[in-house]
Amino acid sequence: MKKQKTKLKGITACPGKVKGKIWKIENPIEVLAVKKNHIVIVPFTTPIIALAISESKAIVCEKGGLTSHAAIIAREFGIPCIVGVKDLLNSFKDNQTVVVDADHAEIYEA
């Protein structure tokens, strides 16, 4: 039987659609080096990791609403962002290729 692709839904914080590799950040209070062109998945963002994710293609967060830190940063940078995605970190692996369709508030395996 064909395995169903993982697809999760949240709330659109900034629209747009991109495909890319996941950078999974589990500890948002650790200082990290900047990684370019990744799709960041994170429980929530903090000022500490903000610089690291400033060159990302998209941000997807397990927690947060339309006025959360990630949502505001993404809107300023103009990159797709989905927030409030339940079970996000358990569902995707680091470096996995996914599509973030923030127009429809979805993240799924490519």
Partner 1 sequence: MLKYMKLNIKAKKLVKSQCAVILAAQDKSGSSGRWPMPILKSTVEASIFSEPVLAKFFYNRVSTLLEKGYSFEKISLLFPYASPLARLMMIFRSRKIWPMTADEKIEVANWLAEILYYHYKKDHFVVSGENILWDSETVNKLSFLKKDVVRPALVAKLDGKLWMYTEMLFSRWHNLGHEFHGSYDIKNKKEKLLVKEWHDLKGLGWNIFKNFPYKKIVCYEFYKNNDVSLDLHNRLFSKRPIIQSVTRCVIKADDKILNNSEVNDLLKKMDDFLLAGAKYLSGMNKKELKITNAYMEFYAIKPLADELGENWQPPQELLMKIEEEKLGQKEVKLLEILQRHYKKMDRKTIKMEFDPSAIFE
Least Cα distance to 53 among 37, 71, 66, 64 occurs for: 37
In the complex, the smallest distance separating the C-beta of residue 76 from partner 1, rounded to whole angstroms, is 4
Buried b (16+ CB within 10 A) or exposed e, 4-28: eeeebebbbbbbbebebebbbbeeb
In the chain, the amino acid numbered 66 is L
Task: Rank residues 14 and 22 by Cβ distance to partner 1 and give the closer one.
Answer: 14
Q: Which residues would be at the binding site for partner 1 (CB under 8 A)?
A: 11, 14-16, 28-31, 34, 43-44, 46-52, 54, 61-69, 72-73, 75-79, 83-86
In the complex, the smallest distance separating the C-beta of residue 41 from partner 1, rounded to whole angstroms, is 13
In the complex, the smallest distance separating the C-beta of residue 3 from partner 1, rounded to whole angstroms, is 27
